[in-house]
Amino acid sequence: WESSITGGSTDIELAVKFTPSSAGELYTARFLFSSEGQTGYDLSPVEVRVYSVGFDGSPATSLYVADEFTEVTVEDQWIDVDLSGEGIVFDDQGFYLGFRFTETGGPGMGRDLDGYVYGHSYVFLQGEWFETGDLGFSGNFMIRAVAGLENTTREDVQELVTTANVIHENMENVAAIINGNSTGLPAYEISGEQNITFPTQSVRTDSMTGYNVYQVLDGADTLVATTDPGDTTATISVPANYVEYCYEVSASFQTDSYGLISSKKSNTACAVPFTSGDTDFDSNVSLSDLLSVADYVLEVLVPTEDQFRGADVNDDRFINIQDVVLIVDIIYGSSARTLPSFAESIAEVSMRNGGGTSLLLDLAYDGFIRGVQFNLTADLSDVMFGSAMLNELQEGVMINSHTLEDGTTRVLAVNLNGGLLSFSSDGFITIPVTMNTGRGDRVKVGIQDIQLIDQNGESIPVNARGDGSVALELIPMQYALYQNFPNPFNPVTEIQFDIPDISTVELVVYNLMGQEVRRLVNGEIQAGYHRIVWDGLNNQGEPVSTGVYIYSLTSPSFHSTKKMVLLK
Cβ-contact 133, 141 below 8 angstroms:
no
| Confidence check: pLDDT of 567 > 90 | yes
Q: Is the dihedral of CA 429, 430, 435, 440 positive or negative?
A: positive
Phi, psi of 465 (to 5 degrees): -65, 140
Using the predicted structure, report yes or no on whether residue 293 has a pLDDT greater than 50. Answer: yes
Q: Are residues 141 and 119 in the same domain?
A: yes
- Cβ atoms within 10 Å of 47's Cβ, excluding its own: 17
**Which residues in 167-206 belong to E strands, given as ranges?**
174-176
**For residues 123-142, average pLDDT:** 85
Q: Is the preceding omega at residue 491 within 30 degrees of 0, hence cis?
A: yes
161-170, 189-198, 450-459, 556-565 — which one is most confidently predicted on average?
Answer: 556-565
Residues 202-254: pLDDT tens digits? 444 567 788 889 999 887 788 999 988 778 788 888 888 888 899 988 888 78
Residue 193 within any structural domain of the chain = no
Residue 258 has pLDDT above 70, yes or no: no
Q: Name the residue with higher pLDDT: 494 or 254.
A: 494
CA distances 459 to 339, 341, 555, Å, are: 12, 8, 50
Mean pLDDT of 435-439: 77
pLDDT over threshold 80, residue 390: yes
Q: Would you say residue 269 has pLDDT above 50? A: yes
| Torsion sign across C-alpha atoms 125, 128, 129, 131 | negative
- Looking at per-residue pLDDT, the higher value among 341 and 505 belongs to 505
The number of residues making up the chain comes to 568
The residue ranking higher by pLDDT, 334 or 438, is 438
Least confident piece of the model among 251-255, 298-302, 347-351, 359-363? 251-255
CA distance 96 to 411: 54
282 domain residue, yes or no:
no
> In a 3-state reduction of DSSP, which class is residue 331?
helix
The pLDDT value recorded for residue 172 is 33
| Residue 187 domain flag | no
Last residue of a domain, one of 448, 473, 498: 473
Compute CA 380 distance to the chain's CA centroid, rounded to the nearest angstrom. Answer: 31
Better-scored residue on pLDDT, 154 or 370: 370
CA distance 458 to 226: 36
pLDDT for the residue 337: 42
Taking the C-alpha atoms of residue 40 and residue 108, their distance in angstroms, rounded to an integer, is 8
- This prediction has a pTM of 0.49
Domain boundary among 223, 240, 271: 271
Least confident of 63-72, 297-306, 473-482, 483-492: 473-482
Owning domain of residue 100: 3-176
> pLDDT tens digits, residue range 153-191?
444 444 454 333 333 333 333 333 222 233 333 333 323
Any long-range contacts for 66-72 (C-beta under 8 Å, 24+ apart)?
Answer: 69/45, 69/102, 70/31, 70/45, 70/46, 70/99, 71/45, 72/33, 72/43, 72/44, 72/45, 72/46, 72/106, 72/107
In a shared domain, residues 487 and 435: no
Using the 3D structure, point to which of 433, 451, 473 is the last residue of a domain.
473
Q: What are phi and psi of 173, to 5 degrees?
A: -110, 25
Tell me the pLDDT of the chain averaged across its residues.
82
Residue 353 has a pLDDT of: 80
464-486: average pLDDT: 82
DSSP 8-state symbol, 368: -
| 457 and 484 share one domain | no
Q: Same domain, yes or no, for 266 and 296? A: no
DSSP string, 230-278: T--------S-SSS-EEEEEEEEEEETTTEEEEPPP---EEE----TT-
Average pLDDT, stretch 354-377?
86
In contact, 516 and 510? CB cutoff 8 Å: yes
Cα separation, 47 vs 34, in Å, equals 17
The pLDDT of residue 338 is 40
Confirm whether 195 is domain-assigned. Answer: no
In a domain, 184, yes or no: no
Q: Which residues contact 459 (CB under 8 A, 6 or more apart)?
A: 322, 451, 452, 453
Question: What's the mean pLDDT in 310-319?
Answer: 92
50-54, 119-123, 423-427, 555-559: segment of lowest average pLDDT: 423-427
My answer on whether 143 and 64 are in the same domain is: yes
Parallel, antiparallel or unpaired: strands 462-464 and 347-353: parallel
Higher pLDDT, 400 or 549: 549
Question: Do 394 and 309 share a structural domain?
Answer: no
Task: Report pLDDT for 186.
Answer: 34
Segment 272-288 mean pLDDT: 89
Q: Which of 23-37, 172-186, 404-418, 511-525 reaches the highest mean pLDDT?
A: 511-525
pLDDT band at 344 (very low <50, low <70, confident <90, very high): low
**% of the chain beyond a pLDDT of 70:** 86
Question: Which residue type does 497 have?
Answer: F
- Report yes or no on 185 lying in a domain: no
CA distance 84 to 322: 55
In this structure, the answer to whether residues 11 and 118 fall within a common structural domain is yes
| Residue 15 and residue 160 in one domain | yes
Three-class SS state of 178 = strand
Which strand ranges, in their side-by-side order, compose the sheet holding 13-18? 59-65, 46-53, 95-101, 13-18, 121-125, 128-131
Is residue 327 in some structural domain? yes
| Confidence at 256, pLDDT banded by 50, 70, 90 | low
- The answer on pLDDT for 396 being more than 90 is no
Helix (H, G, I), strand (E, B) or coil at 450: strand
Residue 165's pLDDT is 33
Close Cβ partners of 499 (under 8 Å, ≥ 6 residues apart): 476, 479, 505, 525, 526, 527, 528, 530, 555
- Describe the chain by its helix, strand, coil percentages, rounded to 5: 5, 45, 50
**pLDDT at position 81:** 93
Per-residue pLDDT for 424 more than 70?
A: yes
Among 73-77, 193-197, 256-260, the range scoring the smallest mean pLDDT is 193-197
pLDDT confidence band for 515 (50 / 70 / 90): very high
Residue 233 pLDDT: 83
Average pLDDT over residues 293-312: 92
Residues 141 and 30 in one domain: yes
Per-residue pLDDT tens over the stretch 440-453: 777 888 888 999 98
* Count: domains in the chain: 5
pLDDT of 264 higher than 80: no
pLDDT of residue 167: 32
Residues 442 and 464 in one domain: yes
Report the pLDDT averaged over residues 413-419: 85
The answer to whether residues 361 and 427 touch, using CB atoms and an 8 Å cutoff, is: yes
CATH at 457: 2.60.40.680
pLDDT of 369 reads 87
Q: Is the pLDDT of residue 192 over 90?
A: no
Task: Give which of 382, 380, 354 is closest to 470, Cα–Cα.
Answer: 354
pLDDT score for 187: 33
147 and 211 housed in the same domain: no
Question: Is the Cβ–Cβ distance between 455 and 370 less than 8 Å?
Answer: yes
**In what order do the strands lie in the sheet containing 547-555?**
516-525, 503-511, 547-555, 558-566
Instruction: Work out the percent of the chain whose per-residue pLDDT is above 90.
Output: 33
- Same structural domain, 55 and 21: yes
| Res 131 pLDDT > 50 | yes
Flag whether pLDDT at 301 surpasses 50: yes
In this prediction, residues 57-81 reach a mean pLDDT of 91
Identity at 8, one-letter amino acid code: G
Residue 41 lies in a domain: yes
Query: Could you say which DSSP state residue 544 is in?
Result: P
466 compared with 397, residue with greater pLDDT: 397
Higher pLDDT, 47 or 2: 47
